[in-house]
Amino acid sequence: MIKAAVVGAGALGLLSAYQLALAGCQVCVLERCRVGRESSWAGGGIVSPLYPWRYSAAVTALAHWSQDFYPGLARQLLEDTGVDPEVHVTGLYWLDLDDEAEALAWARRQGRELFAVDIAEAYQQVPVLGGGFQRAIHMPGVANVRNPRLVKALRAALAAMPNVELREHCPVTGFIKEGERICGVTTAAGEIRAERVVLAAGAWSGELLGTLGLALPVQPVKGQMILYKCAEDFLPSMVLAKGRYAIPRRDGHILIGSTLEYAGFDKTPTDDALESLKASAEELLPALKDAEVVGHWAGLRPGSPEGIPFIGEVSTHPGLWLNCGHFRNGLVLAPASCQLLADLMLGREPIIDPAPYAPAGRLQ
């Protein structure tokens, strides 16, 4: 039995632990604060990159695998835990894109359902949409996952596994080395030894790798969102225009996001962002002018070059594995990223070519 310590209990850390535990590994998950309360809790949960055609093939490969995997994962978690992650297929309309032709060409190359639709059809399908939009493209199969419920379900699944231990409020301060091999981590509560250490600490991953003299190009990128509560049938589809989106949950909550701010580790919601998000919300869906904002928060995304995550073993430090740097697409890419990590750690045939995500040559 392989003992693995997973540093970070967001969606990536929890799902990494879940995949390893399913394979029979003994797993200890370490979280500096509370499970899933950072980026995983704060995001929107669209099961697609916002503009999938603008990303590299490396991101696309993870996204497509994950999109196909999510419905089954949600069913399994609901069956095992009674907690429904609410993978909600609504489709997504992009409005007045500058690069619409590129988007449609990408869809043809990838064999994905993404079509130009008459704007009148978009207004017919989404009657609450604001006026003045001229063009629309539509991807009917896109879902969103209710990320706080996904985290809750994963936590419950891990809690039921006898080979998993979960420690909250247990910040990792460094790594245990024997020669160059990583043999565990140091925490405020003492040392935890492990055959493998998985670093899945999101925006904090770079700081931890810095204790080994390694420079991981992952930095915190602040995102603010607001939440409305409407009737359950208020918004039948996700909509996106001018870089801002509206996401309907099954119970009528509507998420509006998000900002993109380079402000270090500051997660303070600001009045300026609130006003900007409200203006975007009312332009997209004018009826929200009369609705109450029931939530406003900020999270820290793990920004990385081109949004390509780091997945694999650090060649200079055997025993240390990375699953971090997913930028804006952590929830989208999580199932494939964690499956790939488990495949590589356990010597299985990887689901996709692991080369683009390998840390070798990408650490500074």
Q: What distance in Å separates the CA atoms of residue 322 and residue 311, rounded to the nearest whole number?
A: 5
CATH code of the domain in which 192 resides: 3.50.50.60
Domain that holds residue 276: 92-140+219-303
The structure tokens listed for 222 are: 């602040």
Taking residues 239-247, what's their average pLDDT?
Answer: 97
CB 265 within 8 Å of CB 271: no
Q: What angle do CA 180, 352, 47 make, to 5 degrees?
A: 105
In a domain, 232, yes or no: yes
* Strand residues in the chain grouped as ranges (E): 3-7, 26-30, 88-89, 92-95, 115-117, 136-139, 143-144, 164-167, 172-178, 181-187, 190-193, 196-199, 219-229, 238-241, 244-248, 253-257, 293-303, 310-313, 320-324
Q: Is residue 27 part of a domain?
A: yes
- In tens, the pLDDT along 64-81 reads 999 999 999 999 999 999
The pLDDT of 82-101, averaged and rounded, is 98
Domain boundary among 282, 303, 324: 303
Residue 241 has pLDDT above 90, yes or no: yes
Exposure on the CB side of residue 353, measured as CA atoms within 13 A: 7
CA distances (Å), 239 to each of 50, 91, 160, 264, 336, in order?
A: 10, 9, 38, 29, 25
Report the pLDDT value the prediction gives residue 275, as an integer from 0 to 100: 98
Same domain, yes or no: 132 and 232: yes
Above pLDDT 90, what percent of the chain?
A: 98
Position 85 in a domain: no
Would 210 be classed as within a structural domain? yes
pLDDT value at 328 more than 90: yes
Per the domain annotation, does 136 fall within a domain? yes
Say if CB 331 and CB 43 are below 8 A apart.
Answer: yes
Q: Please report whether residue 82 resides in a domain.
A: no
Residues 136 and 254 in one domain: yes
Query: Where residue 93 falls among pLDDT bands split at 50, 70, 90?
Result: very high
Q: Which of 287, 303, 319 is the last residue of a domain?
A: 303
Q: Closest Cα to residue 70, out of 160, 154, 173?
A: 154
Taking every pair of C-alpha atoms in the chain, what is the biggest distance, in angstroms? Answer: 66
Tell me: do 197 and 333 sit in the same domain: yes
Q: What is the pLDDT of residues 183-216, one digit of tens each?
A: 999 998 999 999 999 999 999 999 999 999 999 9
In this predicted model, what pLDDT tens digit does every residue of 307-321 receive, in sequence order?
999 999 999 999 999
User: pLDDT class for 364, splitting at 50, 70, 90?
Assistant: confident
Q: How sure is the predictor about 2, in pLDDT bands with cuts at 50, 70 and 90? A: confident
132 and 235 inside one domain? yes
If pLDDT is split at 50, 70 and 90, which confidence band does 125 have?
Answer: very high
| Residues contacting 214, CB < 8 A, separation 6+ | 314, 316, 317, 363
CATH, residue 232: 3.30.9.10
Asked if residue 299 and residue 152 are part of one domain, the reply reads: no
Q: What is the pLDDT of residue 204?
A: 96
- Same domain (yes/no): 243, 129: yes
Task: State whether 154 and 281 are in the same domain.
Answer: no
On average, the pLDDT of the chain sits at 97
Q: Are residues 316 and 242 in the same domain?
A: no
* Structural domains of the chain, count: 2
Phi, psi of 318 (to 5 degrees): -55, 145
Whole-number Å distance between alpha carbons of 134 and 138: 14
190 and 134: one domain? no
Residue 255 confidence class, pLDDT cut points 50, 70, 90: very high
- This prediction's pTM: 0.96
**For residue 11, what pLDDT is reported?**
97
The verdict on whether omega for the bond into residue 258 sits within 30 degrees of 0, i.e. cis, is yes
Looking at residue 1, what is its pLDDT?
65
Residue 17 above 90 pLDDT? yes
β-strands 92-95, 238-241 pairing: parallel
Query: Residue 189 half-sphere exposure, CB side, CA atoms within 13 Å?
Result: 11
Do 297 and 158 share a structural domain? no
Which secondary-structure segment (H or E) carries 342? Answer: helix 330-346
Whether 37 is covered by a domain: the verdict is yes
Residue type, 19: Q
115-117 and 92-95 strand pairing: unpaired
239 and 229, same structural domain? yes
CB atoms near residue 290 (< 10 Å): 7
User: Does some domain include residue 77?
Assistant: no
pLDDT beyond 90 at 55: yes
Q: Is 247 found in the same domain as 232?
A: yes
Q: Which of 258, 284, 303 is the last residue of a domain?
A: 303
Percent of the chain with pLDDT over 70: 100
